[in-house]
């Protein structure tokens, strides 16, 4: 997972709240959080080239349409239905793209986005 622009305090909170519990709960996957202050463009370029992280917590959803059209993102529709996201989360958190699929969740009231890349 890549988080853009996280402070040291926020990185520590992510480690305590996400990384340690997730890694302790199973042994199939290892959650590693990388932090970048370089910006969304480098992430977009890496994903368009077939690389980059599996999960991205980005500064906003602006890069999503081009990544979705190129097939670089995994639709979250199956997860959303299984976990009742639309019913449980506020409507803007589950907005669908023009192709009818859900590719990201808006993580805050500010424009932030979390999405899963196709490689995951």
CATH of the domain at 95: 3.40.190.10
Please list the residues that pair with 4 across neighbouring strands: 36
Predicted confidence (pLDDT) per residue in 30-63, tens digit: 888 877 666 667 777 888 888 877 777 766 677 7
Lowest mean pLDDT among 8-12, 59-63, 108-112, 113-117: 108-112
d(CA 76, CA 105): 9
pTM greater than the 0.85 cutoff: no
DSSP letters for the chain: -EEES--HHHHHHHIIIIIHHHHHH-SS-----EEE-S-HHHHHHHHHTT-S-SEEEES-GGGHHHHHHTT-B---HHHHHHTTHHHHS-GGGGPPPTTS---EE--SSSS-EEEEBTT-
Please list the residues that pair with 117 across neighbouring strands: 73
d(CA 92, CA 12): 28
> The domain containing residue 87 runs over which residues?
2-116
How many domains does one find in the chain? 1
d(CA 118, CA 72): 5
């Amino acid at each position: 997972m890549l988080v853009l622009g996280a402070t040291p305090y926020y990185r520590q909170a992510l480690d305590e709240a996400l990384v340690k519990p997730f890694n302790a709960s199973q042994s199939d996957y290892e959650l590693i959080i990388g932090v970048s202050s370089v910006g969304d463009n480098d992430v977009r370029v890496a994903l368009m080239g077939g690389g980059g992280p599996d999960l991205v917590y980005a500064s906003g959803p602006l890069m999503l349409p081009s990544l979705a059209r190129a097939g670089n993102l995994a639709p979250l529709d199956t997860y959303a239905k299984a976990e009742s996201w639309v019913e449980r989360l506020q409507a803007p958190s589950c907005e669908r793209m023009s192709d009818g699929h859900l590719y990201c969740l808006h993580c805050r009231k500010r424009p932030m986005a979390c999405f899963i890349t196709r490689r995951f």
